[in-house]
Structure 1
Amino acid sequence: MMSQPTPEHAWLQQLVGEWTYEMVGEPFTGTESIRAIGDFWIQCEGKGTGPDGTPATMMLTLGYDPKKGKYVGTWMGSMMDYLWVYEGTREGNVLTLRTTGPNFGKEGAMANFREVLEWKGPAERTFTSHMEEADGTWKQIMSMTYRRA
Structure 2
Amino acid sequence: MQTVEPQDEHRWLQQLLGNWTYESNCSPDKPDEVFKGSETFRSIGDLWVVGESTSEMPGGGASTMQITLGFDPQKGRFVGTWLGSMMAMIWTYEGFLDDSRKILTLESEGPSFSGDGTTAKYRDIVELRSPTERLFYSKVLGADGSWTEFMKARYQKI
Question: Which segments of 5 or more consecutive residues in structure 2 lack a partner in the other structure?
Answer: 26-31
Matched, 1:66 2:73: yes
After superposition, the C-alpha distances for 1:32-56 in whole angstroms (9 at most, x for unaligned) are: 0100000000000000101111100
Instruction: Tell me which stretches of 4 or more aligned residues in structure 1 moved more than 3 Å.
Output: none
- Within 2, Cα distance between the matches of 1:10 and 1:16? 11
Q: Secondary structure at the match of 2:9?
A: helix
Please, what TM-score do these two structures have when normalized by structure 1? 0.96
- For 2:148, the equivalent position in structure 1 comes to 139
- The CA deviation at 1:80 is 0.8
Identity of aligned residues (%): 45
Question: Which segments of 5 or more consecutive residues in structure 1 lack a partner in the other structure?
Answer: none
- For 1:26, the equivalent position in structure 2 comes to 33
Contact persistence 1:27–1:50 (CA under 8 A):
no
Matched, 1:53 2:60: yes
Q: Secondary structure at the match of 2:33?
A: coil
Please, what TM-score do these two structures have when normalized by structure 2? 0.91
Instruction: Kindly report which structure 2 residues correspond to 1:29-40, keeping only aligned pairs within 5 A, or say none.
Output: 29-40=36-47
Task: Select 1:129's aligned residue among 130, 138, 148.
Answer: 138
- For 2:107, the equivalent position in structure 1 comes to 98
Say what the alpha-carbon RMSD is for the aligned residues.
1.0
Q: Secondary structure at the match of 1:99?
A: strand
